[in-house]
């Protein structure tokens, strides 16, 4: 087989404990089954890429970890989804606290139509941190983590909507970081960005993975190869339910996949 993915990163696969886990998960939207019997372990302080053709349930899978599928009428989950071995679908789980621990960055940058400062301070303020000096420290620290501080430190009072698309997406990442999450979910975070902005986001993901567990959905095979430690390939069955075909270290999945369907997808034979 000939898989030309020289961009694969050379990082050692994390050997830390499991942070996120799904066990025989089925997801239904009413009578429609969106995901079928998906089980995998995602290591702590790593980047895991979810890849697969359109419609195979990648975003639905991602939203399991912060229970955003709960917002869809008729959604139902069978099986276990755990963070640190705690099933987040137990009845006594505080969903607000869960979404503080598990932040999400969306496909299209979605800054609030308020100032740069207030975008980042919004979450901490909602969680009771109201002293201006404390908020100022949080804003600066979060913007530095998002590699944006030097570009906006003189624009904190200006509207976030005046920033470029790439800056807006990094601002959204800073907004997530400001509430001190443990996990960051990214749903095609670079699809609306130009190549230069995309590389900045990828560099940022790599640096953030030293401290956070990151799960990213992407259609960009080169991006998955560049940034992720682990990769999961999903496909649709005949009834359109998404299933897990293969999961493992990115270097193995991209250069020596175990399943012929994985090779066919990565080499562009379908999808």
Q: Of 239, 241, 217, nearest to 34 (Cα)?
A: 241
pLDDT band at 1 (very low <50, low <70, confident <90, very high): very low
Give the residue-averaged pLDDT of 118-124: 97
Residues 6 or more apart whose Cβ sits within 8 Å of residue 150: none
pLDDT, position 251: 95
pLDDT, position 66: 97
Write down the residue that tokens 């089980």 correspond to.
39
Sort strands 75-83 and 86-87 into parallel, antiparallel or unpaired.
antiparallel
Q: Which helix (H) or strand (E) holds 253?
A: helix 250-255
Write down the residue that tokens 């969306």 correspond to.
106
**Cα four-point dihedral sign 114, 120, 123, 129:** negative
Hey, what domains does the chain have and what are their CATH numbers?
18-112+182-266 (3.40.50.300)
Percentages helix, strand, coil for the chain (3-state, rounded to 5) are 35, 25, 35
pLDDT, position 15: 57
The whole-chain average pLDDT of the chain stands at 93
Give the residue-averaged pLDDT of 100-126: 96
Q: Which two tokens stand for residue 258?
A: 């175990």
pLDDT band at 268 (very low <50, low <70, confident <90, very high): confident
């Amino acid at each position: 087989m000939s898989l030309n993915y020289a961009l694969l990163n050379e990082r050692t696969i994390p050997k830390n404990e499991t942070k996120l886990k799904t066990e025989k998960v089925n997801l239904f939207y009413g009578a429609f089954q969106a995901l079928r019997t998906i089980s995998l372990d995602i290591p702590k302080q790593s980047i895991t890429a979810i890849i697969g053709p359109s419609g195979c349930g990648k975003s639905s899978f991602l939203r399991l970890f912060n229970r955003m599928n709960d917002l869809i009428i008729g959604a139902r989950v069978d099986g276990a989804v755990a963070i640190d071995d705690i099933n987040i679908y137990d009845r006594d789980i505080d969903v607000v606290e869960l979404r503080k621990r598990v932040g999400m960055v969306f496909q299209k940058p979605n800054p609030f139509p308020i100032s740069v400062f207030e975008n980042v301070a919004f979450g901490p303020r909602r969680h009771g941190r109201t002293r201006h000096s404390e908020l100022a420290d949080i804003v600066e620290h979060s913007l530095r983590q998002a590699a944006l501080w030097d570009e906006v430190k003189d624009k904190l009072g200006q509207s976030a909507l005046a920033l470029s698309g790439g800056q807006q997406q990094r601002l959204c990442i800073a907004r997530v970081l400001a509430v001190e999450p443990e996990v960051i979910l990214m749903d095609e975070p670079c699809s609306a960005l130009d190549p230069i902005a995309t590389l900045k986001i990828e560099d940022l993901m790599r640096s953030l993975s030293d401290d956070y567990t990151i799960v990213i959905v992407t259609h960009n095979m080169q991006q998955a190869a560049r940034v992720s430690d682990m990769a999961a390939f999903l496909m649709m069955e005949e009834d359109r339910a998404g299933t897990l075909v293969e999961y493992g270290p990115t270097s193995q999945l991209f250069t020596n996949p175990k399943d012929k369907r994985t090779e066919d997808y990565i080499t562009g034979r379908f999808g």
